[in-house]
A and B are shown apart, each in its own frame.
Chain A
């Protein structure tokens, strides 16, 4: 399968400021997270993928087209901006119907599609209310709905949980997860919140100072740093000493003893040490690092 999105040796400069430098990556089907702090180049990358700006050099292809050259190619692309981009005086139904037509759908199909998508994002009963009367969470759903109304192949989401309270954030993440992973719409999610990516993405691309710092599956990142957490009620020092004698380094983290890089041999060694020392084992469990822990280190 050809990639949905492809950046090859991409450079983007604004005057003397370098926004992206030699960026190369591919995005395939599924949900991909574009992670990075503010100023890392995420917004510039999104604008390049949408065809709103041209690269200084290098190539960008979205759904097989160079987006700034092919206006028609945008017909199968969806975009949900970070900031508010909704009219206040018309209903969600009217707005979505219009946006579906601007994406190329005939009016009769646009009407059906608007109704389907508003039901999908949970705004079925509110669809005839002016958008200006909606809560922040409901507006965020309308923004997602307008990005999906024309059934795109790939949707670019820019900070989709920005400004939401914890409950609203959970609901939005669940909605994106269902749309992306259950219903098969490929998505690229730009965010600085690692928790969001961990919840819904299966791949992650980390941008730092305009360059790709890391890239891989979310599972790959978390698996490589798997630790074992041990908690004993007594004979703690003896356990540490016995493990050290077997060449296993133990870190203390509060009540926990942490052994990095779990594998079968370490499991066996811990079992034997606990049996030999007679320590009362309360907990022995693998701990998978969160992306937050990995990238903050």
Chain B
């Protein structure tokens, strides 16, 4: 706990929360504008499903980049100020520091996901959607997004900690954003290899074209569970590999 609160303390004057909020505002505003236009063309789309599907696919583009920036800012301060030696000589363990950074970033991204859920709810209510707020769908959307984020954080943190030059980590984030956006266009087998594709992959809503019309289908939760288990296992693997690799590096 002390290490986590210290990480959050070290983020002072970095305006990270402001940056995350602004970034999310752009994403949400874009998603809502697109949904509003879609509703004005086709009033049948005035429902929760298209809205959640829209945000899931936008997340594929925005969240990998946002995650890369957050992780990079949290890790880079140790490289920039040459503080690894300082921290290690006050007897903090590298694995503790690694975990504290991971949890801190996860908390920030969790808040970001929560903001998205609140924004979706507010948008639906303001636009007078007929159906009641779909709590279960929103929770599933939230869990899917948070889970994908956590795996991406593990990957980004490994790169950000191991390679001093943050251009690598940020480039990875941008590549991830591109893959996340284009994931639905790839064959399913290829999609599953890329962790960034899971924003839409774990979304409770899927889209399909039938008779040249877009259909929004609610996915069966049971069909997503095995995928989640595999993803969690991959996340743990990436985290541990990163932690061990970084701990073995000499300062």
The reply to whether chain A is a binding partner of chain B is no
The interface of chain A, by Cβ under 8 A from chain B, is: none
